[in-house]
Structure 1
Amino acid sequence: MNMSGPTGGEVASKQLITNAFWNIAGRIAPVFVAIVTTPRLIHLLGLSRWGIFTIVLSLIGTFGIFDLGLGRALSRAVATKGAEERMDQETCDLVLTGVSVLTGVGVVAALVSAACCNLWVDHGLKIPVELHREVLLSFFVFCTTAPLVMINAAVWGVLTGRQAYRETNLINIPISVMYYLGPLLMLYVWDSLIGVMFVLAGCRLWMTIAYIRLVYRLIPELKHAQLRPRLLKPLMQYGGWLTASNIIYPLLGYLDRFIISNLIPAARIGFYTTPSDAVSRFNMFTGSVNASAFTAISASYARNVTRTCELYKTSVVAVSFILLPLCLGASLFSYDILALWIDRGFSEQSGLVMKILCIGVFISGVDSITATFLEGIGRPDIGTKISIGELVIYLPVLYWGVSRYGVVGASAIWTLRFGFDYIVRAVMCLRIYPALRGSFLRGAVTVMTGVAGMCFSIARMNFWANVEAGVILLAITYIVMWFYTLDAFERQSFLQTASRIKSRLYRRETT
């Protein structure tokens, strides 16, 4: 390899890591605010209104189901033009048409949701009678945000297609913080869920205005764009497969809970759902890497094979590097964590479940990179077909596992599903993109080393034995990653970055 300087793949890999960092920052910062403000919000809202508030926060994301995959499709369409190039007239027309269509879809979604509000509040929610009018009006306010959610999804796709992750997350961070801080401040002025919903709607409007201003600044050619509906056909085909995947994949994710709730006593369900909810939070980091990997791979796969393969390997290394200490630590200390968090009796029933689920979360993180790779090279249909096939196999196997082994069986089958999924998706990636073989194998060695260490962590040991095992297993995996998976230039780049960070920290300490 030429050591005189970075190749295009190495430059792209650095950009991917930088973009992933901004995505992580955009997701972590609001979490800290949520942790601080949640107790006070619960106190001011009361349990009933707090429950409604949390439902609304989760429902904001569900409007994304109606985007027909166009947000992601727009991101890919823009990414293929290159972040540094002027956007041609056809792509500008495509962007304007896509955003306009999604705005219309958002309006329809708002009207349908508003029409269903009475039915949902009257029959779908168990709320005190005195809160009926307040909740109903607050839901009407919430429904008005649907068009804004659609516009934001479309414009976010365009911005990330231009690799504008830094600028986008600098917009997202304060707005996401205001999702919790804003309602808290509003409750001191107007003690009503209606006011809280107005704040959330205001945050969405703020995001829409900021996104639109940014996209016109980065792509001034959009000022001359025209509506051309015929350009949507390829996007609809691509987005259609994504929509199907967005429906089937979450269904696979919730089947375990559905089966468990029907086969085991209600008192034991928490032994599975509690550790599952806890370790699933690690997916926040995986999603941050995936978002930046998708646009980078979309931009390079048809132009630069070497760069595309480097991007895949970098993504796998990044996910493994971030997830392994989290999953391994949670697995090794699962009994202690659950005992401190809940109680010792609960940890005795749920500790092993948490250990097994941690393995699944680690594998699913790497598996998501293969899924992103397939979507990035324009084959989302393969991932959807794999998910459909899994659904047929997974349901009866999960039923058998829960019937025979309870929550431990459910966690084992859930983890094995991701192992199977990773293997099948990897085979399809290599078949469609044969040049990926070398980069895949280098990344896979690190992944398999990490999985082997995770399997060892299932054994129950005392605290200090867990500490020793964690240090040794992490060291082995990182040594494999350093000397086998990373090449000479990547190792050099890592050391230079670490040196810069150390220098900055030292300067801060001395000032």
Structure 2
Amino acid sequence: MSLKRNTLWNLAGSTVPLVAGAALIPFTLGRLGNEAFGVLTLIWGLIGYFSLFDLGVGRALTYQLSQLSAAGRAAEIGPTLRAGMVLTLAAGLLGAGVVWVLAPGLAQHWLKISPALQHDSMQAFLIAALGVLPTTLASGLRGALEGLDRFSASNISRIALGLWMFMVPAWSVYIHGPDLWVITFYLVLGRCLVVLGMGLQLRSELFSKGAVLEKRHLGGLWNYGFWITVTGVVGPLMVYGDRFFVSAAVGAEQLPLYAIPQEGLLRLLLIPMALTGALLPRLAAMGQQEAASSYRQSYRRVMLSMLGVCLLAAALAYPVLAVWLSAEFARAALPVVLVLCAGVWINSMALLPYTLLHARGNPRLTAIFHLFELLFYFFLLWFLSSWLGLLGAALAWAARVLLDLVLLRLAARRLYGV
């Protein structure tokens, strides 16, 4: 395994779609209009959030297949992968059913979509429901590719999917006009094609002979994946739930002063996440002493490199916001930005012990930590945002990620001596 090469592939897989989005979203927004584009973002989020319906099998496959490869148990790879596909297929069908049932209510009642757009939106939501299945399958297949150290194939599929997500709506509105159901059809078609491509990459493992699929293969993936799913559900609540508290405390008109800097600064975490994504199968395949050494080295690298990145972000925040938006916005948002920069640095370091615990087969502990942190965070967020407004919300987020780092470091030290 080449950690540097795999990290660069992960970074490319995350950043190339962002560049495409920055280039193409203005055109799509202009052709669709604010309301229809808002519905499109909901469709993107709906399909993306329901990737949680893979039940953590993608990460479980990364963990298990990397261990099987390192141990030379090649005969077990095929049945383990097939077990993962059975679980993701069942979970994807469940998720698709949930979205299908919710689609009429979303389009006609709960989201307050204008009557002229409701029929198109409902058709789009129904088609998006069908997209949940290839989304969950893609998550499982991507985890398998990374567990087998095929990061290039995994990230080529991620880049293709990311480019498709932004290019197709722009192309569709140019060719077919502003029909959301047509855009959504193409989005789902793209996911199906990506699943087919990843399946072809793994055809020798999917259709291998030898060991047969047994209940133990399903059980191992389910036990690991369940706790990943808990974290996957709780995590977005801790990242984006604060915006509802901020809106309630200071009003929706003040929310951009918090949400825009937060959205931009959280993108900095793509850098350590690219490393930890490549590090997980590596740590899972290593012995304990070798894993501890690799972990310490990676922790120091992330701590120092992200300190530099976050200090640079803090220094450039005012001039960038002043030029991009306005000097008034930059002045009002600067205290929030500085606190969030500190929080991003802390959070980047927490990714390392989090990855180590998952790599050594301990996702249950991180899920329990996150459940506890959720209660602590929402209470602190309510108190500080009511008292200090936007700055209080930023301080609450920074306090939450500091608590997360402390808990994860203590667990890693106690369990693995690092």
Question: TM bucket by the smaller chain?
Answer: over 0.9
Query: Is 1:355 aligned to 2:342, yes or no?
Result: no
Deviation at 1:250, TM superposition (A): 2.5
Aligned to 2:49: 62
From 276, 292, 317, the equivalent of 1:334 is 317
| Paired residues of 1:156 and 1:211 also in contact (CA < 8 A) | yes
- The code of the aligned residue for 1:421 comes to D
Match runs of 1:199-348 below 5 Å = 199-217=186-204, 219=205, 222=208, 226-300=212-286, 304-320=287-303, 322-348=305-331
- 1:172 and 1:273 map into 2 onto residues whose CA distance is 26
Alignment-mate amino acid for residue 64 of structure 1: S
How far does residue 146 in structure 1 lie from its aligned partner after superposition? 1.4
Q: Deviation at 1:306? A: 3.3
Alignment of 1:36-435 (within 5 A): 36-82=23-69, 85=72, 87-89=74-76, 91-191=77-177, 192-217=179-204, 219=205, 222=208, 226-300=212-286, 304-320=287-303, 322-434=305-417
RMSD: 2.1
- Code of the residue aligned with 1:241 in structure 2: it is W
C-alpha separation between the residues in 2 aligned to 1:420 and 1:233?
32
* Structure with more relative contact order (C-alpha pairs < 8 Å, separation 6 or more): 2
Check whether the contact 2:57–2:84 (CA below 8 A) recurs between aligned residues.
Answer: yes
1:415 deviates by: 1.1
> Any conservation in 1 of the 2:79–2:211 contact (CA below 8 Å)?
yes
* Distance change in 2, residues 1:186/1:70 (3 Å): same
In 2, are the aligned partners of 1:331 and 1:355 still within 8 Å (CA)? Answer: yes
Runs (5+) with no aligned partner, structure 2: none
Worse-superposed segment, 96-105 or 362-371: 96-105
Q: Quick one: which amino acid aligns to residue 314 of structure 2?
A: S
- CA shift, 1:426, in A, is 0.6
The AA in structure 2 aligned to 1:307 is E
Who is 1:486 aligned against? Answer: none
Check the 8 A contact 1:289/1:318 in 2, yes or no.
no
One-letter identity of the residue aligned with 2:258: Y
For each residue in 1:105-141, what CA deviation from the matched residue of structure 2 results, as whole angstroms up to 9, or x when unmatched? 2122212211221111011223232222222112222
Instruction: Name structure 1 gaps, 5 residues minimum.
Output: 1-11, 437-511
Deviates more, 1:261-270 or 1:359-368: 261-270
1:204-256 per-position Cα deviation (integer Å, ceiling 9, x unaligned): 01111110000125x37635564433432232222222122222232233343
Contact 1:106 1:150 in 2 (8 A): yes
Alpha-carbon spacing, 1:187–1:263, altered in 2? closer, same or farther (3 Å): closer
SS at match of 2:365: helix
Letter of the 2:298 counterpart: S
What CA deviation, in whole Å up to 9, does each residue of 1:8-40 have, x standing for no partner? xxxx5xx12211110101111122221211121
1:378 aligned counterpart, secondary structure:
coil
User: Aligned equivalents of 1:189 and 1:387: distance in 2?
Assistant: 46
Q: Distance in 2 between matches of 1:138 and 1:324?
A: 43
1:83 and 1:162 in contact (8 A); partners too:
no
Q: Deviations over 1:429-475 (max 9, x none)?
A: 011002x3xxxxxxxxxxxxxxxxxxxxxxxxxxxxxxxxxxxxxxx
Distance 1:329 1:169 in 2: 28
Alpha-carbon separation, structure 2, partners of 1:305 and 1:418? 27
Cα distance in 2, alignment partners of residues 305 and 258 from structure 1:
43
SS in 2 for 1:424: helix
2:12 corresponds to: 25
Q: Which amino acid aligns with 1:339?
A: A
Between structure 1 and structure 2, the one with the greater Rg is 1
Count of paired positions: 417
1:374 and 1:64 mapped to 2: Cα distance? 22
User: Is the contact between residue 247 and residue 254 of structure 2 (CA under 8 Å) also seen in structure 1?
Assistant: no
Counterpart of 1:394 in structure 2: which amino acid?
A: Y
AA paired with 2:54? D
Q: Which amino acid aligns with 1:29?
A: V
> What is the TM-score when the length of structure 2 is the normalising length?
0.93
Q: CA deviation at 1:147?
A: 1.3
CA contact (8 A) 1:16 1:311 kept: no
1:344 Cα deviation (Å)? 1.4
- Following superposition, the deviation at residue 101 of structure 1 comes to 2.2
Q: CA deviation at 1:396?
A: 2.9
In 1, Cα distance between equivalents of 2:380 and 2:133: 41
| Separation in 2, partners of 1:150, 1:268 | 36
Q: If the length of structure 1 is used for normalisation, what is the TM-score?
A: 0.77
Tell me: CA distance 1:351–1:123, structure 2 relative to 1, closer, same or farther (3 Å).
same
Letter in 2 for 1:110: A
User: Identical aligned pairs, as a percentage?
Assistant: 25
Cα 1:121–1:231, aligned 2, differ >3 Å: closer, same or farther? same
Q: Structure 1 CA distance, aligned partners of 2:111 and 2:374?
A: 30
* Distance of aligned partners of 1:255 and 1:62 in 2 relative to their CA distance in 1, 3 Å threshold: closer
- Deviation of 1:160 (Å): 0.5
8 Å CA contact 1:338–1:346 kept in 2: the answer is: yes
Residue identity in the other structure for 2:220: P
**Does the C-alpha gap of structure 1 residues 185 and 388 become closer, same or farther in structure 2, counting only changes over 3 Å?**
closer
1:339 positional shift? 1.4
1:181 is paired with a residue whose SS is helix
Per mean C-alpha deviation after superposition, the further-off stretch among 242-251 and 96-105 is 242-251
| Mapped partners of 1:128, 1:391: distance in 2 | 35
Contact 2:310 2:341 in 1 (8 A): yes
Cα distance in 1, alignment partners of residues 275 and 46 from structure 2: 24
Q: Is the 8 A contact 2:89 2:133 kept in 1?
A: yes
Q: Which amino acid aligns with 1:288?
A: A
Residues 95 and 174 of structure 1, relative CA distance in 2, 3 Å threshold:
closer
